[in-house]
């Protein structure tokens, strides 16, 4: 049974103060910096640059900035493309390079710049047709967590409203049309998942002529063809769809839907599985949500010769209410009782979140966004720190021991046991997936001994929760999953 060492974001004392004191402006100059991207590797053992579009004099080029861990600051801006065309929509994978969209050939094409042994190669065009190829996306994959049998570049893009899977191997490109727009259906949003076990899965939001939307998928085994279309979510107002890695074995497909007149987030847990479960993200703020970004760090630990992977999350999203947009920076409102929503001067900012390296012996995770300053769009960022350490199978300290709940997963009842090593004042709390407190109970003064809680989850929605026991000044936490 895997454990969750609940220090989602561990702040250093030097950054626990007013947000404006630790928000950093990342780019400076007489240009617009747009559309940041940070590769989200799951181990946090390497720093990743912040890629973005630099718009100036009618052109746009792909640039990046790297965080200098030795000086605790961003290094100078580096250009990857140098021309007078529009180069936009960058994405990056350290074993592949940078993928982007360019109009260098008078129409939109997809190109990439390979990256190998810390060196950048020459730009390669993956598409060269007379049609417009747009919205390039790398497949999300488990290459960081499993040995991979994949020896080629696989991407998704849109051409004339059709969703295309392109495989590039040995300087040859092969295309498969996954979803085709026609008089009955159109496809505008899509995402792909590359899995060592099952092959490729492509998800899309499908809209019919009456305006009804649904989330659909098609699966392609490594050595087979794409299977028939399946409907995962029918009759929705779905948008803002993306994939995120949320556990050692689980992905989630996140999207927004309209609930009581507001855009709220939902997720399909393990969306490759048959009939994936639907989860609701109970973000407490009123308003319209978008651009959810998650960073998951998997810490490899060993206990009794068993390798375990411990997840720690950081997250961000945009909130719009009363004609003002806010960016969600961290969980400081949970830890320190202050609101972590930061107001923006622009209404449609782009977000990125990921690990830029290490700082003070902790994983440095940055949320990066666009905002207006001196008549230009620039990139701003806020850091959080995640403890890079292991935990033991038995979670304990000098005051008490906290055991894994059983059964787990559960519906809707489970048991939580703990052992007090000395008499203490005890409190019990439960947090949802995004670190927001949903249950708090004061258990009072208890003498040393073994205790058991019968937990009732009938009033909670399906999802991942963190339960926490506090004994005097000590606190221990674990993860549990409610599946209804």
Q: Exposed, middle or buried: residue 334 (CB in 10 Å: 0-12, 13-18, 19+)?
A: middle
Average pLDDT, rounded, for the chain: 83
Cα–Cα distance between 435 and 463 in angstroms, integer? 12
- Looking at the predicted structure, is the pLDDT value of residue 43 above 60? no
Cα–Cα distance between 127 and 193 in angstroms, integer? 21
Residue from 267, 297, 313 nearest 463 by CA: 267
Reported pTM: 0.76
Q: Where is 333: in which H helix or E strand?
A: helix 332-336
- Looking at the predicted structure, is the pLDDT value of residue 27 above 60? yes
CB neighbour burial string for 454-478, b if at least 16 within 10 angstroms, e if fewer: ebebeebbbbbbbbbbbbeeebbbb
Q: Exposed, middle or buried: residue 269 (CB in 10 Å: 0-12, 13-18, 19+)?
A: buried
DSSP E strand stretches across 29-181: 32-37, 50-56, 59-65, 67-68, 73-74, 78-79, 87-93, 97-102, 109-116, 119-120, 124-125, 133-138, 140-141, 153-159, 162-169, 172-179
Residue 273: predicted pLDDT: 86
Name, of 156-160, 322-326, 437-441, the range with top average pLDDT: 156-160
Cα–Cα distance between 296 and 271 in angstroms, integer? 18
> In this predicted model, what pLDDT tens digit does every residue of 81-110 receive, in sequence order?
999 999 999 999 888 899 999 999 999 999
Place of tokens 């060196």: 119
The per-residue DSSP string of 113-128 comes to: EEEETTEE---EES--
> In this predicted model, what pLDDT tens digit does every residue of 192-206 receive, in sequence order?
998 766 789 999 999
Q: Length of the chain in residues, anyone?
A: 484
Residue 82 DSSP SS3: coil
Count the helix, strand and coil residues of the chain and give each as a percent rounded to the nearest 5.
0, 60, 40
Residue 83: predicted pLDDT: 96
Q: Exposed, middle or buried: residue 444 (CB in 10 Å: 0-12, 13-18, 19+)?
A: exposed
**How far is residue 468 CA from its own chain's centroid?**
24
Residue 85: predicted pLDDT: 98
Q: Which of 35-44, 312-321, 422-431 is least confident?
A: 35-44
Cα–Cα distance between 381 and 365 in angstroms, integer? 10
> In this predicted model, what pLDDT tens digit does every residue of 285-301 receive, in sequence order?
889 999 998 876 544 33
Residue 10: predicted pLDDT: 27
> In this predicted model, what pLDDT tens digit does every residue of 331-385 receive, in sequence order?
433 344 445 788 999 988 999 998 888 776 667 889 999 999 999 999 999 887 7
Say if CB 224 and CB 214 are below 8 A apart: no
> In this predicted model, what pLDDT tens digit does every residue of 459-472 receive, in sequence order?
998 777 888 898 98
The per-residue DSSP string of 347-377 comes to: SS--EEEEEEEEETTEEEEEEEEEEEETTEE
Domains with residue ranges and CATH for the chain: 13-387 (2.120.10.10), 395-482 (2.60.40.1930)
- Looking at the predicted structure, is the pLDDT value of residue 236 above 70? yes
């Amino acid at each position: 049974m895997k454990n969750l060492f609940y220090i989602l974001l561990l702040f250093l004392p030097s950054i626990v103060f007013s947000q404006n004191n630790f928000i950093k402006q990342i780019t400076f100059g007489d240009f617009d910096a747009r559309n940041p991207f940070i590769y989200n590797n799951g181990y946090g053992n390497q720093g990743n640059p912040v890629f973005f579009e630099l718009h100036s004099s009618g052109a746009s080029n792909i640039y990046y900035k790297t965080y200098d861990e030795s000086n605790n600051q961003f290094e100078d801006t580096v250009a990857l493309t140098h021309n007078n065309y529009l180069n936009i929509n960058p994405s990056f994978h350290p074993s592949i390079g940078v993928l982007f969209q360019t109009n260098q050939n008078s129409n939109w094409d997809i190109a990439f710049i390979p990256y190998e042994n810390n060196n950048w190669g020459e730009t390669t065009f993956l598409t060269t047709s007379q049609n417009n190829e747009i919205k390039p996306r790398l497949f999300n994959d488990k290459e960081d967590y499993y040995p991979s049998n994949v020896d080629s570049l696989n991407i998704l893009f849109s051409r004339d409203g059709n969703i295309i899977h392109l495989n590039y191997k040995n300087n040859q490109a092969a295309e498969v049309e996954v979803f085709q727009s026609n008089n009955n259906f159109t496809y505008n949003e899509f995402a792909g998942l590359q899995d060592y076990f099952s092959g490729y899965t492509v998800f899309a939001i499908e809209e019919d002529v009456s305006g009804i939307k649904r989330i659909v998928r098609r699966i392609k085994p490594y050595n087979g063809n794409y299977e028939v279309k399946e409907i995962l979510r029918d009759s929705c107002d779905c948008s803002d769809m993306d994939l995120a890695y949320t556990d050692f074995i689980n992905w989630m497909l996140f999207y927004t839907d309209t609930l009581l007149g507001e855009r709220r987030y939902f997720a399909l847990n393990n969306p490759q599985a048959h009939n994936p479960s639907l989860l609701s993200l109970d973000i407490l703020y009123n308003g319209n949500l978008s651009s959810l970004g998650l960073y998951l760090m998997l810490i490899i630990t060993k206990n009794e010769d068993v390798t375990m992977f411990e997840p720690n999350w950081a997250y961000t999203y945009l909130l719009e209410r009363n004609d003002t947009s806010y960016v969600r920076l961290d969980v400081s409102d949970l830890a320190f009782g202050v609101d972590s929503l930061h107001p923006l001067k622009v209404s449609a900012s782009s977000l990125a979140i990921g690990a830029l390296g290490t700082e003070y012996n902790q994983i440095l995770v940055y949320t990066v966004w666009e905002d207006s300053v001196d008549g230009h769009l620039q990139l701003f960022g806020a850091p959080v720190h995640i403890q890079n350490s292991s935990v033991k199978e038995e979670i304990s300290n000098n005051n008490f021991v906290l055991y894994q709940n059983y059964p787990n997963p559960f519906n809707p009842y489970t048991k939580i046991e703990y052992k007090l090593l000395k008499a203490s004042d005890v409190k019990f709390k439960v947090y949802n997936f995004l670190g927001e407190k949903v249950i708090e109970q004061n258990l009072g003064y208890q003498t040393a001994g073994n205790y058991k809680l019968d937990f009732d989850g009938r009033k909670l929605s399906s999802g991942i929760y963190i339960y926490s026991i506090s004994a005097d000044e000590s606190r221990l936490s674990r993860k549990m999953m409610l599946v209804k």
